Amino acid sequence: MSIFKDSAFVLKIQKWPEKNFIYTIFSLKFWKIIATKKISSKEKVIDLWFHINYEIKTWEKMNKISNIKIINEFNTIWKDFNKINSYLNMLYLILKNTAFWVENEEIFQIVNFINKYNNPDIEIKIILAQLKIINILWELDISHKNPTISKILKFINQNNFSKIIKLSWINEEIKKELQKILLL
């Protein structure tokens, strides 16, 4: 058994017998991990979109997380369905397309930025974040029939997320085209 301290985002929660939950978390040091936690009435239940600090005990069969501290959470207050759905789709993208126990700090930093972001244009920022994550995972096709979309995709491919989030001229038509790319 080994004990490690780390930071993570909750990607998936499954109920398990005897007041236990199985969490799939996206970790800063260990990327994607599956761990269990027994629910206590003294602790706040962790939920999707929480950014947490925790300790993980590694066992042969199942990891166990404990000593959880919530750092921040995606604020859903005053956000419409599309914004919340975009955020959940980003978490699902990471859950579905990332490997277990492989480190990628860049994706973690992108999710951390989005988790803290609280401006009205968050839906566009989440779309750009999803496209950058797909690019990091080597699955983004930067060719497109629309020259504006093609330029945006090339820009995403060539730059880090701190430059990408500065794109502010994306209108509703371009946003819909970028969303179509995410559906492919």
In tens, the pLDDT along 141-181 reads 999 899 999 999 999 999 999 999 999 889 999 999 999 99
Q: Same domain for 87 and 178?
A: yes
Q: Pick from 43, 73, 103: which residue ends a domain? A: 73
- Given a cut of 80, is residue 43 above it in pLDDT? no
Split at pLDDT 50, 70, 90, the class of 1 is: low
Helix and strand element counts for the chain (H, E): 6, 5
Q: Same domain for 67 and 158?
A: no
Q: Pick from 24, 48, 73: which residue ends a domain? A: 73
- Given a cut of 70, is residue 2 above it in pLDDT? no
Q: Pick from 73, 93, 108: which residue ends a domain? A: 73
Write out the residue range of the structural domain in which residue 27 sits. 2-73
Retrieve residue 111's tokens: 């999710």
Q: Same domain for 43 and 109?
A: no
Q: What's the pLDDT tens digit per position in 67-101?
A: 888 898 888 888 889 999 999 999 999 999 988 87
Cβ-proximal residues to 68 (8 Å cutoff; 6+ apart), any chain = 37, 43, 46, 52, 53, 54
Q: What's the pLDDT tens digit per position in 90-141?
A: 999 999 998 887 778 899 999 999 998 988 899 999 999 999 999 999 888 9
Cβ-proximal residues to 158 (8 Å cutoff; 6+ apart), any chain = none
Q: Same domain for 87 and 50?
A: no
Q: Same domain for 51 and 86?
A: no
For residue 162, what pLDDT is reported?
93
Q: Same domain for 89 and 134?
A: yes
How many domains does the chain divide into? 2
Q: Are 32 and 6 in contact (CB under 8 A)?
A: no
Q: Same domain for 58 and 113?
A: no
Q: Is the alpha carbon torsion for 104, 106, 108, 111 positive or negative?
A: negative
Look over the chain and give the mean of its residue pLDDT values, rounded to a whole number. 88
Q: Are 142 and 103 in contact (CB under 8 A)?
A: no
